[in-house]
Structure 1
Amino acid sequence: MKLLHLAFAGLVAFASTTIAAHADDLLTIQLKDGPVVIKLAPEVAPKHVAQIEALATKGEYDNVVFHRVIDGFMAQTGDVEFGKVGGPKYNPQQAGMGGSEMPDIPAEFSKLPFKRGTVGMARAQDPNSANSQFFIMFADGPFLNGQYTVVGQVVSGMDLVDKIKRGEGSNGEVSNPDKMIKVTVTKK
């Protein structure tokens, strides 16, 4: 029994540092250059993943811009309120300041590191303020570890993420930004 307990503890430690290979939740983002596939991590951030999946399933992420893109750091998107091209409240100057009609989500911090291709939830200063916005890392960002919720990892199409139009200025604001054309969820 003690050996089984030790094996289980080791498995938990492993799961806390990497996204489980058996995760079946995939998010596909169609960009202008092709699809990006993200393996979501419901075992690490169940509330965040559920919210992303609900918004994607309702088509809320379709045509949402990458409003903040900083070269060598990350590309941020997901403002379904002000960042949805063709939406009733679309406003390029306010993109990044909105969320969704769903409630904010309490932080689900983990030991997963922010590395190239990691997908994390954006939030305001309050750690419990994540809603719909997320970002994809262009490079490792260990300074984010334990400070933001990791929701997944790009498993294909990172070369397409690298082609997302970069922003200007210190905050990475993008004029005439690229967008997520269509976002879908696959559960196997």
Structure 2
Amino acid sequence: MRSSRLLIAATLALGLASTAFANAAEMLTIKLKTGDVVIELADDVAPEHAARLKALADAGEYDNVAFHRVIEGFMAQTGDVQFGDMENGFVPQRAGTGGSSEPDLAAEFSDKPFERGTVGMARSQDPNSANSQFFIMFAPAPHLDGQYTVVGKVVEGMEHVDQIKRGSANANGAVDNPDRMLEVRSGS
């Protein structure tokens, strides 16, 4: 009787552990010149956007992409794989206007607030125009809540995000000689 209870307890424990592992959120690690930034993707609230970031990261599309728009007290924007790759086709005047070769995504708005460390998808005026660009919040921005797709949050390395070179306030955050994502990879 005691051994069957132990067997049941062990089976339940293994089942719970495998369920927890299966439900673990995907992570992205961004290597910056000052250290690594780990982002937990919100694949439970924005599955299409999270899958896009993961796919682009795994394909190496985000490697060497500039933080082209960085506004003190607001956010750092990156992810323009078309015009933002600082080692292959960097066009400073167009950085921030491109995307990837994939189609734009439909909005996946949620009730997740834009707080310090939140990662959101950049888009044009059209709510269904997010593609590859994303931004990381330096501070809360409640005016973005429900207006942009929250795709994740920084869980480690926010101190490195804080060190990203800021852009000109007179040029809407455009950055001369910007910092870049050296390498981006996914993994749980």
* Residue matched to 2:4: none
| Secondary structure class of the residue paired with 2:28 | strand
Q: Give the distance between the partners of 1:170 and 1:23, measured in 2 at CA.
A: 40
Q: Give the distance between the partners of 2:24 and 2:74, measured in 1 at CA.
A: 26
1:4-46 Cα shifts (integer Å, max 9, x gaps): xxxxxxxxxxxxxxxxxx5420000000000000000101000
1:44-81 Cα shifts (integer Å, max 9, x gaps): 00000011111000000000000000000000000000
1:76 matches 2:77:
yes
Moved over 2 A (4+): none
Could you say which structure has the larger radius of gyration? 2
1:55 matches 2:56:
yes
**Alpha-carbon RMSD:** 0.8
| Secondary structure class of the residue paired with 1:30 | strand
* Residue matched to 2:109: 109
* Residue matched to 2:135: 135
TM-score by length of 2: 0.86
1:118-157 Cα shifts (integer Å, max 9, x gaps): 0000000000000000000000000000000000000010
Contact 1:24 1:39 in 2 (8 A): yes
Q: What amino acid does structure 2 have at the position aligned with 1:176?
A: N
Structure holding more helix per residue: 2
Contact 2:74 2:137 in 1 (8 A): yes
Q: Give the distance between the partners of 1:117 and 1:147, measured in 2 at CA.
A: 17
How many residues get paired? 165
Q: What amino acid does structure 1 have at the position aligned with 2:161?
A: V
Q: Give the distance between the partners of 1:57 and 1:49, measured in 2 at CA.
A: 12
| Secondary structure class of the residue paired with 2:187 | strand
1:67-122 Cα shifts (integer Å, max 9, x gaps): 000000000000000000122x3201110010000010000000000000000000
Contact 1:33 1:160 in 2 (8 A): yes
Contact 1:44 1:108 in 2 (8 A): yes
Q: Give the distance between the partners of 2:53 and 2:102, measured in 1 at CA.
A: 10
Where structure 2 has 5 or more consecutive residues not aligned to the other structure, the ranges are 1-22
Contact 1:27 1:184 in 2 (8 A): yes
1:156 matches 2:161:
no
Please state how far the C-alpha of 1:170 moved relative to its aligned partner: 4.5
| Secondary structure class of the residue paired with 2:50 | helix
TM-score by length of 1: 0.86
Contact 1:23 1:41 in 2 (8 A): no
Cα 1:181–1:71, aligned 2, differ >3 Å: closer, same or farther? same
1:14-33 pair list within 5 angstroms: 23-33=24-34
* Residue matched to 2:99: 99
Cα 1:34–1:153, aligned 2, differ >3 Å: closer, same or farther? same
Q: Give the distance between the partners of 1:38 and 1:183, measured in 2 at CA.
A: 10
